Every structure is written in C-alpha cells, then in structure tokens.
Amino acid sequence: MSADFPGDVLTHTVHRPWPVPDGPWIMTQSWHDLLFAHWPLDPAALRDKVPATLPVDLFDGRAWLGVVPFHMTNVTMRGLGWLPFASAFPELNVRTYVTVGGKPGVYFFSLDATSPLAVFTARALFNLPYHRATMSVDVGARRVSYRSSRRTGGELAVTYGPTGAVQEPRPGTLEHFLTERYCLYTTNRSGHVRRLEIHHRPWPLQIADAQIAVNTMAAASGLALPETAPLLHFAKRIDALAWPMTVVR
C-alpha cells in the first residue's frame, strides 16, 4: 500500500450490508473531493439504457441518476505501488442503481478520466464504459472548481463545496440508498452480468451546494435531466479496496 493509504480499512466492516468477499483484494483507490449530484427520473426513462438483466432500483417509486466528479490517488494493483500517470487522476461518472442477487450496486453509463492507461485497462479487462477526457480540478479552501470535456461529447463545468456537517448516511434514507453501495455491475460481451465488489468506511457525507455552468453528461448517454434542482452531497475523502470481478449469471 501507499504510505498515504490507511492500513485499517478492513477493520471497519460492521456497516456493510453483506460480508467482505472471500479472497484477497487486488486494488486500492482513494477518492477525493466528491460531489454527488442526483436527479430523480421516471424509471421508464432508464429502462432501455440499462441491460435487461440488471433491475433498476427505485426509491419512493423513482429511479435516480447521479453525476459524480472527483479525483483519485493511490490507484494501483496490489503489490505494484505508485505508477506514473496511472495512480492519480480526475474521474467523472454518470450512474444509476441496480440490485442483483440481493446486493445493491452501481451501474455506470459512463466514466471519464485523464489517464489513458486507466481508460484502456478498464475497457479491456472490465468492459466498463471509460472515456478519455480533458479535465482540471482546482481544490480551494472552501470550493472545488471542476471541468471536464470529452472529445466524443460530454462536458461538465461546476464549482461546489460543502455547506453542512459531516454525517454518515442512515439506513433507510435516500442518502444511504444513493451512496452506500459496495459493488458495481456491468455485462460482458456475451451479456453475462459481472460484479466487482469494493469496501470502504461509511461515506462521510455533507450537504453541498454547486454552481453548474455546463452539464451535458447525461445527454451524452442519451438521457434527459429534469428541470428540478439536483440533490447535492459532498465527501472529502474515502479509501477503497476492490476485489476481482466475478460472473454473477
């Protein structure tokens, strides 16, 4: 592990909805200065955008779409250590929520990053919809200025920051539904569902505000956002472990 990555991540597991996976983890990642911007959607708007084998999760009858900008450090495979141009870079994802086999997880419509190695590896090994983008992150004392532009379409320009105290999301709340998920789902080229499990401490969420100057990230995935203002949360940092991807069905 990097000297900056805490060695006690696996000692905090009581909050998990299911036990950590058997076998060794294979990757570390530290996620910094995250904005969770979420919009409610009619479930029908997502159904033909998500593989039929992945049931879309609803909260009070609504599906949710998230646009999540952040930046990462400590991105490395177990035993490799820090890698130039691959261990620290910005990322931006567009996501919704699904459950397979009783395990709630995340489904990504897109993931943008500046690292060509990360984009190539994630596409080749995990069939995840990563894209190369030009990105910049300016972290100030109170605000984060974030810009991302993908050559094939998809742009975000936003300034954001926390406005409330840190609180762990409580089970049963919308905040918990949107963030406390310990796996991601994708499908392989044969259509089989695959799951990648992760572990981290509970999210240290804060209420946030944001000035969104440009946001075409949902439109780049063929999705339309409602006119309503997004639900906004901020998290300063969380450290995560990941396990090998497995075929679910």
* pLDDT tens readout for residues 29-71: 999 999 999 999 999 999 899 999 999 999 999 999 999 999 9
Residue 6 lies in a domain: no
Distance CA 96, CA 91 (A): 16
Higher pLDDT, 152 or 180: 180
Residue 7 lies in a domain: no
CATH number of the domain residue 104 falls in? 2.40.400.10
Confidence at residue 3, expressed as pLDDT on a 0 to 100 scale:
64
Distance CA 32, CA 27 (A): 17
Residue 114 lies in a domain: yes
Phi, psi of 2, deg, nearest 5: -65, 150
Confidence at residue 235, expressed as pLDDT on a 0 to 100 scale:
98
The residue type at 223: L
Angle 201-67-38 from CA coordinates, rounded to 5°: 80
- Report the mean per-residue pLDDT for the chain: 94
How many distinct structural domains can be found in the chain?
1
- DSSP letter for each residue of 67-117: EEEEEEEEEEETTT---TTTSSEEEEEEEEEEEETTEEEEEEEEEEES-HH
Q: Let me know: does 183 contact 103? Beta carbons within 8 Å.
A: yes
Residue 192 lies in a domain: yes
Residue 126 lies in a domain: yes
Quick one: tokens of 13? 């597991």
**Whose CA is closest to 95, among 1, 197, 181?**
181
Quick one: tokens of 119? 């984009």
Domain membership of residue 103 as a residue range: 26-247
Confidence at residue 228, expressed as pLDDT on a 0 to 100 scale:
94
DSSP state of 10: G
Higher pLDDT, 174 or 121: 174
pLDDT beyond 60 at 1 = no
Residue 151 lies in a domain: yes
User: What value does the CA radius of gyration of the chain take, rounded to a whole number of Å?
Assistant: 17
Give the Å distances, CA to CA, from 135 to 59, 91, 127, 145.
32, 8, 22, 11
**Residues 234-238: what's their mean pLDDT?**
98
Residue 154 lies in a domain: yes
Residue 211 lies in a domain: yes
Predicted confidence band of residue 123 (pLDDT cuts 50, 70, 90): confident
Q: Let me know: does 205 contact 175? Beta carbons within 8 Å.
A: yes
Q: List CB contacts of 187: < 8 A, sequence separation 6 or more.
A: 51, 53, 54, 127, 193, 194
pTM: 0.95
